[in-house]
Structure 1
Amino acid sequence: MSVAEGVRFGVLGSLRAEVGARPAGLGGPRQRAVLAMLLIARGRIVPAERILSEVWEGSRPASPTTLHGYVADLRRALEPERPPGAPARLLVREGPGYALRAAPAAIDAERFTDLAVRGRRALEDGEPGRAADLLGQALALWRGPAYADFDGAAFAAPDAARLEDLRAAVREDRLSAVIASGRHAAAVGELEALVAEQPLRERGWELLALALYRSGRQADALAALRTVRRRLADELGADPGRGLRELEAAVLAQDPRLTPVPAEPGQGPSPAPPAGEPAPSPGNLPFALSSFVGRDGDLTAAARLLKAHRLVTLTGPGGVGKTRLALEVARARTDADGPWLVEIAGLHTPDLLTATIAAALGLPAAASADQLAGMLAGRELLIVLDNCEHLLAPAAMLVHTLLARCGGVRILATSREPLGITGEAVYEVPPLPAATEAAELFARRAAAAQPGWEPEPGGQERVAALCAGLDGIPLAIELAAAQCRTLSVGQIANALENRFTLLVGGPASRPDRHRTLLGTVAWSDQLLSPQERLLFHRLGVLRAGFDLETAAAVTGVAPVLAPLSALVRKSLVTAEPGTAPRRYRMLETLRQYALGALSPEELARARERHRAWALTRAESAERHLRGPQGAALLEGLSRDQPEFRAAFASALTEGDGDYVLRLGGALFWFWFRMGHVAEGLAWLSEGFAAAPGADAGTRARARFAVAALRYLAGRPAQAYEAARTAVEEAREAGDRVTEASATGYAAYLGLLAGAPVDAPALARAAVEMARGTAQGWLEAEALMIQGMALRILGDLPGAGAAFREAIAAAHSSGHDWAADGAAWCDMKTACDRGEGARALAVAGDILAAMDRYGDISFWLVTVHSATRALVLTGRAEQAATLMGAVEAIGERAGVSPELMDPLDGPREAAAVREALPPEEYECHAARGRALSRQEASALLAGLIARN
């Protein structure tokens, strides 16, 4: 073997070299840069003078002697067997410079380029399957950004950009091949990720729209086309190119040319059945041994697909009911021949697959797929091919042969992932709705296990909750119902944390993998590749939905898209439809299995990564919560709240109180706005107890959070003390933002608590500090608090001026909450003056903003103040109804508008109570306590509209 043949180079990521399959030591950054320049030159001579100027760009150039030393070191690393004094054969000196004589096949960038060209040629030649394979091989060579070690280096930038552009084109070509091979639905997720990464590349959008349209999602295809049109106009000032325009017109017209080409039937006349073949029988479906519950919609949908397509695959997680649904669909058909059930779950040798199908259909043993197809040619029948996931590739090949050769054969397959062949229609079998069909299934199976069983009084809700905890999976529900012989519904529900121990003992007639819940999930786990299994297990630390970025950060698996897509295909992760960027989630049963599969050490590392992600997520959002993105960010934090709770819990388990205080300080504004008062105070209290020595900056932010949340809870004296301490800690830490916020609140809370405080001076100081930080939102808040303090002191002109300044600063910074806070105070002042109509008009504007944000605490105080305005306008009964709603909703959120504002709150409550006789007030308030927030908002909005 020559030197060149034994050395391989990698530039699609960090620079590396291998000699005889072993890594070669390439030295420090400059020496590696020399090698990179020579690789970029692709065998051409690079003058030594150019190497010295470009590798040492921006710094004092090295001497030729230094360069010669680097080259000598590289030669020793790349040609370790070269005798001393022998001429170099790989890194050579020629003329005024050096050259690297490496064969193209030895460099991953060259192999990538070759595969890219071959893949594109196969795609153009109408071989999409081969194209997808070649292009997938090309992309698999990448380990990171091209020339990742030299990011920003001028000598590497052009070649890196070229390779990255080619990489983008290859990704598009591969996805085009996937679509062309009929797997358009499978391409959607990757295409959505692609356009998110590269939103200005029009071809990615074309492919996404085409894949969506061919997946039966015309509305989503048009939405994608509208999105790219808007992006191009906003960012480039350009219209879409010809391809996008023509595709949009074709989608709108439902052009038949967009319809995928169906699989071609076999050529030539079908051979006759072999002599002596037994006459067709009327099928072999077993009789049902138990009642079939619900699924009317699924039956109809699957039957409709089977009528329109010759291959339908029912997918879904283990135990969701794929086999039972397939059998019910098959029983409802009126085929003269069949239907035939072929169970292959117990088959582990692909070579026996053809013979197994032949035996199930009562045919002589078939040695090949072609021979089996010959036996079935001319027959019209339905084959139910059950549990294909463990023999996916051989099953797909056999099914393809049968469908291509036998025009009268239809196949209804069940598998935890699609077969992935042309013409396949996939129906994902959903879990049962917990409150209806799942609860009915539980009741029927419990009654069968224990004759006469009925849920205890009021137990329907507990059964529905139990079924929800079991993810609506029929197998889990049936196994749980069987436990009713010895346990109550409540006991079963309480044991769900150990569901894999609880849900055992299925009927002996079931396959082994379906006799326990653990066996069902383990079957799926065993079919995963090592990378897929690693990702699946580590995803168990996530409690709620997640996106690609979160999955990568929390699991440490990179790249994450391919194994995650495989988990979606294999029904272990669910993609949430309609989300962009796409979000995913795991059923609780699967999550618990994944978590239990991690070793204690791996679980600790996974939770550590999860905590790091949660803190980064919260702190990143917190920096923008008081700006124009606030509504979207609050919504995102609400969606991720289960993750933050898990992070708090695992940090406290580790004794990391510093982390708890940091995360609590970052989430404070989210808690404040969304009314999670009791929860926030509880986490912060535990954090302070676990971290008595936390640094001053961490303590200050957490302490200010405590002050604000105690204010919402109606504890002004305790809130004031916390604010005072936060001022001192922030000053010690040099945290001017927290000091300004805490100083302003200390002025206001001191007045509410009746403390001896120079509120005007403190409020002025807070405003000046806020202005010194150049944070517009902070200035708006400080001015709003100053106005509130001046209003309490009776300086209404001064308060009005402060509120006007606050509103201006809030609007300029996008911090609408501060402007609405100032308006709320104006609303209360209007009530003081008896101007109920004006107060209600202001309330209408505030509530519209609150509905955008989903804010609960501000919503409560606004409605509370509006009740007084309703009394002033003669609508005391409606005011009492809304007061009841505020009491009930506030109690659930831990927010007391009456207590948090001890000056105005009691006056507002008293105004409503005193407007009606006690019995009448209580009657209307009781009606209000039954209202949801949305119903109460609608009631108040209607009253304001008639104002």
Structure 2
Amino acid sequence: MAVGVWFGVLGPLRAEVGGRAARLGGPRQQAVLALLLIAEGRTVSAERILSEVWDGSRPPSMTTLHGYVGDLRRALEPEREPGAPARLLVREGSGYALRITPAAVDAGLFTDLAARGRRSLEGGEPEQATELLGQALALWRGPAYADFAGAAFAAPDATRLEDLRATVREDRLAAVIASGRHAAAVGELEALVAEQPLRERGWELLALALYRSGRQAEALATLRRVRRRLADELGIDPGRGLRELEAAVLAQEPALSPDSRPARGEPLAPETGVATAPAAPGRVPSPHRSAPAPPAGNLPFALSSFVGRGGDLAAVADLLDGHRLVTLTGPGGVGKTRLALEVARARTDADGPWLVELAGLRAPELLTATIATALGLPAASSPDQLAGMLVGRDLLIVVDNCEHLLVPAATVVHTLLSRCGAVRILCTSREPLGITGETVYEVPPLHAETEAAELFLRRAAATQAGWTPGPDDRERIAALCAGLDGIPLAIELAAAQCRTLSVGQIADALEDRFTLLVGGPAGRPDRHRTLLDTVAWSDQLLRPAERRLFHRLGVLCAGFDLEGAAAVGGVTPVLAPLSALVRKSLVTAEPGTAPRRYRMLETLRQYALGFLSPEELAGARERHRAWALSRAESAERHIRGPQGVALLDGLSRDQPEFRAAFASALAEGDGEHALRLGGALFWFWFRRGHVAEGLAWLSQAFAAAPTAGAGVRARARFAVGALRYVAGQTARAHEAARTAIEEAREAGDPVTEASATAYAGYLGLLAGAAVDAAALAGTAVELARRTTQVWLEAETLMVQGMVLRILGDLPGADAVFREAIAAAHASGHDWVADGAAWCDMKTASDRGDGPRALAIAGDILAAMDLYGDISFWLVTVHSAARALTLTGQAEQAALLMGAVEAIGRRAGVSPELMDPIDGPREAAAVRGALPPDEYERHAARGRALSREDASALLTNLIDGHRLPR
């Protein structure tokens, strides 16, 4: 982040650089900055910026946006040299992001101070809370995002900040009261309730401050005034806090006395600043509340044991304590109803709990009467009539399966909650009701290896007396449950098949799960008798555009983003139908991802695929292939720059999609598409150690594309050469590089020609071929410079330095490496600098300087861990093992050699064969430092190490030998 940059959004938009106001341009340009600030460091696509900033008017060209961004960069980074990469407002993929910390924005500082103040208040430190919360409020200069009051993009964040501001004002006044200055708080509180008359906490604090100031009659009058206001304006009774405070005032509870100030550090209730009491944490207790009567209600008795979900039970129970409407969402069969019933059974509401089942109801006009009948009341003709019968009753209503009656159910629920202050409602639905006050809890699948496996075992044992799992069944059951996505209904249906099939047979039949998982118990609702019925119930509730997108998304194998959904679905715009699928629990939004990513359970994905016609399936797969290739080629253009880590991580995340695209292209006979995809992905394969996989796909692609164009063949051929190099097949790698040179020349592709020329010389030396490696390396550098691609110049210089080192020209190699490192830093191609350092490390070992070699290795390892690199990590550890023998640590060196051998075999990388000049010498040095049996004993231990274990071991060894500075 740029030094000395600060932003203000709590009022008119401001930015300061080095303490001086920055000129931010006109309203649209400022709106671009505001949108990026709201994103809090996440990337915002250029398309979204144009759509949201120019909402309601025709957006300008992309050039205009780039111009605005350029102006903002000049204003925010005035010291940046022309052409130097931006550090603050950066380009990422197809969008922009602000690289700032929360403390650089007044809203972030305000949020932090608010949280610290609340913790101080809850922790019994009211004076400190008053100070912190006062500092938070002092940051405000007007309404949040004041310049963008009518802008839709700013409204959600502005509302959030204004709501938090109101809470902070209340927290500060609660702290003032808790510190004994109740009389001083009265005036501010009277102004506060006048401004925000429907926020009940302000009235609570005002009544408490009046009471402690000796104005008990005014306190009681205040409580009665707010009761009348809530009834007149909203038609509701006061909340529990106001009711309990009124009872405490009438009873003149000692806890309300100003003499009852808590000792320093004694926990306080944040709502009022009163010391917490055991009866009701966070509220003033009422001594007159009688013990609840035994529950009434109509909940059915459980017919089978409830397995797992201890955390879910506690979480939903806590939500119901704090909220009057909680909705459990999730896909069909995930266990929403059973969880709701278990939570309800543990409640002690005086008049409940009650269950209302809506699954069999198809007529919305009968909804109110159905609920009344389930509650044992006379049939009601309207929601208002039903509410009138429930006023004053303390009960929980479980409303099960609302998704097909969403609008009428929301209307009835809203009326009941507005009119009946002691009624709580727990809904289950595949989609939230979407009304004010609703808290949504997404019921997760069961954990496959624990809860889900236990459920399978219990239900299977119930199918026939004496059933026990076989010796190998437990692992199969865990895998089976994972394949069923941890969905309880699917697991129970699978377990029921143990009457006729073995666990292995059930697992093998999962590809046809909708035929296998049938025949549920006769007491189940029709929609839960088979797995197909369960998913079809959700499918039937979709609108045409939603259903079309749902079915087409089945071709995606793993998680996906908005762009992927749009490309594969062929739907524009895609946000509305995708949002509907998320709401209806057919697609899951992955929390914490930015930009947001989505996924489908495997069961839902297979269902979706099964409903595509052959023509629709072919079209969806074609769109999927095009999207995968575009994603790979877009990443490849920037992957050797500053964004390399993020892009490699993104390609790792999308790897299942690339595999599916390869399989689809080859099945269609489109070998040229597969070659293009392989050429784009080779650097990812090279760095992340997917060598065998890359070679396999490229081999099939070449076989399927005998007439592919020279340019496509050249890039894919160079990829083959690079992957064969790390696999230790130097002669074949050299041959591929030479062919790639000819194909690149034919295609007029100087970038691939430069790369292939450089490696042809280096690989020729390693393979013992008759080549003028120095001349080839020099030619490659000249070609690279003519392309003006700085990363390419850096890499060809690095290869030239490696060639000169092998030829014995160490001074010449050092000089070239310095040039390569400078170009690497200028382009962000860090791998080049690390490659030069690796050569320096080996030279240090050649000179017997083990400590220096290990110090260099430590720096390289840190970079390899950042990039998730496997190939370079292996050769670095291999070379470091030799350096360890020079420092007297032969046993640890053998241990690491064993780790390199095992991890390299899994990745398809052979450091010893990849580096046939230095690699065998390094291996021989380690083997020669120990007797053969000792070496083998330590190497065998190393073969059991993970990469993380081996890295940690080597890092500790390096730290123990660092020279004092």
| CA-to-aligned-CA distance 1:521-575 (integer Å, 9 cap, x gap) | 1111111111211221221121122222222122121111122111111111111
Distance 2:323 2:672 in 1: 59
* Matched letter for residue 858 of structure 1: F
- Give the aligned partner of residue 494 of structure 2: 480
| CA-to-aligned-CA distance 1:633-686 (integer Å, 9 cap, x gap) | 111111111111111111111110000000100001111011100110011011
Please report the TM-score for the alignment, with normalisation by the length of structure 1.
0.73
Is 1:267 aligned with 2:281?
no
Distance 1:260 1:583 in 2: 38
Is 1:741 aligned with 2:755?
yes
- Give the aligned partner of residue 792 of structure 2: 778
How far 1:316 moved relative to its partner? 0.8
How far 1:247 moved relative to its partner? 5.2
- Give the aligned partner of residue 580 of structure 1: 594
Please report the TM-score for the alignment, with normalisation by the length of structure 2.
0.72
Is 1:625 aligned with 2:593?
no
- Contact 1:264–1:404 (Cα < 8 Å) also in 2: no
- Contact 2:198–2:230 (Cα < 8 Å) also in 1: no
- Contact 1:747–1:762 (Cα < 8 Å) also in 2: yes
- Give the aligned partner of residue 165 of structure 2: 250
| CA-to-aligned-CA distance 1:486-507 (integer Å, 9 cap, x gap) | 3333332222222112211111
Distance 1:268 1:886 in 2: 70
How far 1:246 moved relative to its partner? 7.5
| CA-to-aligned-CA distance 1:67-110 (integer Å, 9 cap, x gap) | xxxxxxxxxxxxxxxxxxxxxxxxxxxxxxxxxxxxxxxxxxxx
Is 1:526 aligned with 2:494?
no
- Give the aligned partner of residue 711 of structure 2: 697
Residue number among 420, 424, 434 corresponding to 1:420 in the alignment: 434
- Contact 2:236–2:418 (Cα < 8 Å) also in 1: no
Percent sequence identity is 76
How far 1:476 moved relative to its partner? 1.1
Distance 2:887 2:197 in 1: 63
Residue number among 315, 322, 326 corresponding to 1:312 in the alignment: 326
Indicate the SS of the match to 1:410. Answer: strand
Is 1:848 aligned with 2:862?
yes
- Contact 1:716–1:752 (Cα < 8 Å) also in 2: yes
Matches within 5 A, 1:503-514: 503-514=517-528
Measured at CA, do residues 691 and 805 of structure 1 come closer, stay the same or move farther in structure 2, by a change above 3 Å? same
Distance 1:521 1:769 in 2: 59
- Contact 1:403–1:409 (Cα < 8 Å) also in 2: yes
Deviates more, 1:881-890 or 1:376-385: 376-385
Distance 1:634 1:525 in 2: 36
Matches within 5 A, 1:554-565: 554-565=568-579
* Matched letter for residue 950 of structure 2: A
- Contact 1:206–1:244 (Cα < 8 Å) also in 2: no
- Contact 1:387–1:413 (Cα < 8 Å) also in 2: yes
- Contact 1:880–1:913 (Cα < 8 Å) also in 2: yes
- Mind listing any 5+ residue stretches in structure 1 that lack a counterpart? 1-138, 162-194, 227-231, 233-239, 271-278
* Matched letter for residue 362 of structure 1: G
- Contact 1:350–1:391 (Cα < 8 Å) also in 2: yes
Matches within 5 A, 1:750-761: 750-761=764-775
Distance 1:532 1:209 in 2: 41
How far 1:937 moved relative to its partner? 0.7
- Contact 1:740–1:782 (Cα < 8 Å) also in 2: yes
* Matched letter for residue 333 of structure 1: R
Distance 2:114 2:523 in 1: 41
Distance 1:920 1:304 in 2: 59
Distance 2:441 2:109 in 1: 21
- Give the aligned partner of residue 596 of structure 1: 610
Deviates more, 1:936-945 or 1:479-488: 479-488
Deviates more, 1:459-468 or 1:845-854: 459-468
Measured at CA, do residues 153 and 367 of structure 1 come closer, stay the same or move farther in structure 2, by a change above 3 Å? same
Is 1:404 aligned with 2:418?
yes
Measured at CA, do residues 499 and 208 of structure 1 come closer, stay the same or move farther in structure 2, by a change above 3 Å? farther
- Contact 2:675–2:701 (Cα < 8 Å) also in 1: yes
- Contact 1:214–1:260 (Cα < 8 Å) also in 2: no
Residue number among 672, 691, 694 corresponding to 2:686 in the alignment: 672
Indicate the SS of the match to 1:337. Answer: coil
Deviates more, 1:354-363 or 1:688-697: 354-363
Is 1:358 aligned with 2:372?
yes
Distance 1:840 1:259 in 2: 69
Is 1:857 aligned with 2:871?
yes
Measured at CA, do residues 915 and 486 of structure 1 come closer, stay the same or move farther in structure 2, by a change above 3 Å? farther
How far 1:918 moved relative to its partner? 2.3
Residue number among 456, 469, 474 corresponding to 2:470 in the alignment: 456
- Give the aligned partner of residue 553 of structure 2: 539
* Matched letter for residue 815 of structure 2: A
Distance 2:294 2:363 in 1: 27
Residue number among 511, 522, 530 corresponding to 1:497 in the alignment: 511
How far 1:876 moved relative to its partner? 0.8
Let me know the Cα RMSD of the aligned residues. Answer: 3.7
Measured at CA, do residues 143 and 942 of structure 1 come closer, stay the same or move farther in structure 2, by a change above 3 Å? closer
- Contact 1:206–1:243 (Cα < 8 Å) also in 2: no
Distance 1:832 1:153 in 2: 55
Distance 1:600 1:550 in 2: 21
- Contact 1:503–1:517 (Cα < 8 Å) also in 2: yes
- Give the aligned partner of residue 915 of structure 2: 901
Distance 1:215 1:320 in 2: 35
| CA-to-aligned-CA distance 1:245-303 (integer Å, 9 cap, x gap) | 98598399475699995896663899xxxxxxxx9982211111111001011001111
| CA-to-aligned-CA distance 1:599-637 (integer Å, 9 cap, x gap) | 211111111111111111111111111111111111111
Deviates more, 1:672-681 or 1:481-490: 481-490
- Give the aligned partner of residue 307 of structure 2: 293
Distance 2:730 2:347 in 1: 72
Measured at CA, do residues 558 and 375 of structure 1 come closer, stay the same or move farther in structure 2, by a change above 3 Å? same
Residue number among 896, 904, 927 corresponding to 1:913 in the alignment: 927
How far 1:869 moved relative to its partner? 0.3
Measured at CA, do residues 246 and 426 of structure 1 come closer, stay the same or move farther in structure 2, by a change above 3 Å? closer
Distance 1:503 1:724 in 2: 56
Residue number among 663, 677, 684 corresponding to 2:698 in the alignment: 684
Is 1:807 aligned with 2:821?
yes
Matches within 5 A, 1:163-174: none
Indicate the SS of the match to 1:495. Answer: helix
- Contact 2:298–2:354 (Cα < 8 Å) also in 1: yes
- Contact 2:230–2:236 (Cα < 8 Å) also in 1: no
- Contact 1:214–1:259 (Cα < 8 Å) also in 2: no
Distance 2:56 2:624 in 1: 25
Measured at CA, do residues 817 and 465 of structure 1 come closer, stay the same or move farther in structure 2, by a change above 3 Å? same
Measured at CA, do residues 939 and 474 of structure 1 come closer, stay the same or move farther in structure 2, by a change above 3 Å? same
Residue number among 430, 445, 451 corresponding to 2:459 in the alignment: 445
Indicate the SS of the match to 1:623. Answer: helix
Residue number among 580, 601, 617 corresponding to 1:566 in the alignment: 580
- Contact 1:625–1:633 (Cα < 8 Å) also in 2: yes
How far 1:244 moved relative to its partner? 10
- Give the aligned partner of residue 798 of structure 1: 812
Is 1:645 aligned with 2:560?
no
Indicate the SS of the match to 1:338. Answer: coil
How far 1:455 moved relative to its partner? 3.0
Matches within 5 A, 1:195-214: none
Distance 2:576 2:298 in 1: 40
* Matched letter for residue 836 of structure 1: G
- Contact 1:320–1:431 (Cα < 8 Å) also in 2: yes
Distance 1:285 1:904 in 2: 75
Distance 1:673 1:544 in 2: 22
